[in-house]
């Protein structure tokens, strides 16, 4: 259940707006029993996270501006560690260091994970911290995807406090090149067979 997620995000103003709009009763049931303890990730969330090859990460600047960054890598590069902790390796990039310095001042963050083909999305709230490659070499090695050619500079660790599954409404299905290739493979195999059969009927082959 997403009790702590909604309890964390629902301000008094949001609850008042829900009451005015007639949705408060349903959301109150979602909040019921929230005690400030984290929502516990289950195998369902773990499998979903392990299948993702990208996600969006939001942080806040010291001046209060939201900053959203895309993170990508091989499927499973965002790893579920012990308990409710997530982690991923941060590679050498454009050296703007916006997210890194944001987390140094304010660890609260939000993750948005999309599954476009199946029209699913998972939202996560947590507290982030950063470990350097020099300080935690074993952790960086653990977080690096096997065989992935990138230079890790630091590790991002996120202690999740809440999550919520969003409804599929308005999610347009999108497919990666690999997903399209897998879907089209049976048709390509059939086309190859038919071409061979046609060549034989024409006498193009002995």
**Do 19 and 109 fall into the same domain?**
no
Please give the full DSSP string across the chain, using - where no structure is assigned: --HHHHHHH--HHHHHHHHHHT-HHHHHHHHTT--SPPPPP-HHHHHHHHT-SEEEEEEE-TTS-EEEEEEE-STT-SEE-STTEEEEEEEP-S---HHHHHHHH--EEEEEEEETTTTEEEEEEEEEEEEETTT-HHHHHHHSPTT----EEEEEEEEEEEEEEPP-TT------HHHHHHHHHHHHHHHHHHHHHHHHHHT---
**Domain span including residue 4:** 1-34
**Do 147 and 90 fall into the same domain?**
yes
pLDDT in tens, 184-195: 999 999 999 999
Q: How confident is the model at residue 1 (pLDDT cuts 50, 70, 90)?
A: low
Interval 29-54 mean pLDDT: 91
CA atoms of 110 and 120, how far apart (whole Å): 17
**Do 147 and 184 fall into the same domain?**
no
Pick the closest to residue 133 from 89, 87, 195 (CA basis): 89
**Do 198 and 105 fall into the same domain?**
no
Q: How confident is the model at residue 205 (pLDDT cuts 50, 70, 90)?
A: low
pLDDT at 93: 74
Of 43-52, 154-163, 167-176, the range with the lowest mean pLDDT is: 167-176
Number of domains in the chain: 3
**Do 128 and 189 fall into the same domain?**
no
Residue with more model confidence, 127 or 152: 127
Rounded mean pLDDT of the chain? 91
**Do 55 and 9 fall into the same domain?**
no
**Do 187 and 150 fall into the same domain?**
no
**Do 124 and 198 fall into the same domain?**
no
Of 33-42, 111-120, 159-168, the range with the lowest mean pLDDT is: 33-42
pLDDT in tens, 63-109: 999 999 999 999 999 999 988 999 999 887 778 899 999 999 999 99
CA atoms of 125 and 139, how far apart (whole Å): 22
**Do 28 and 47 fall into the same domain?**
no
Residue with more model confidence, 157 or 30: 157
**Do 13 and 113 fall into the same domain?**
no
pLDDT at 64: 94
**Do 7 and 103 fall into the same domain?**
no
Q: Could you count the other beta carbons within 10 Å of the beta carbon of residue 76? A: 15
């Amino acid at each position: 259940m997403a009790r702590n997620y909604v309890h964390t995000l629902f301000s008094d103003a949001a609850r008042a707006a829900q009451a005015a709009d007639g949705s408060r009763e349903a959301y109150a049931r979602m909040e019921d029993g929230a005690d400030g303890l984290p929502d516990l990730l289950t195998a369902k969330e773990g499998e979903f996270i392990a299948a993702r090859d990208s996600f969006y990460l939001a942080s806040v600047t010291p001046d209060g501006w939201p900053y959203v960054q895309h993170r990508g890598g091989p499927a499973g590069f965002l790893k579920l560690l012990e308990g409710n902790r997530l982690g991923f390796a941060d590679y050498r990039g454009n050296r703007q260091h916006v997210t890194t310095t944001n987390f140094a001042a304010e660890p609260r963050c939000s993750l948005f994970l999309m599954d476009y083909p199946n029209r699913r999305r998972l939202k996560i709230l947590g507290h982030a911290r950063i470990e350097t490659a020099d300080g935690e070499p074993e952790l960086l090695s653990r977080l690096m995807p096997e065989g992935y050619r990138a230079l890790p500079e630091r590790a991002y660790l996120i202690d999740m406090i809440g999550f919520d599954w969003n409804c599929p409404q308005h999610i347009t299905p999108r497919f990666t090149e690999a997903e399209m290739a897998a879907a089209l493979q049976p048709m390509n195999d059939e086309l190859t067979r038919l071409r061979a059969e046609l060549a034989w009927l024409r006498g193009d082959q002995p």
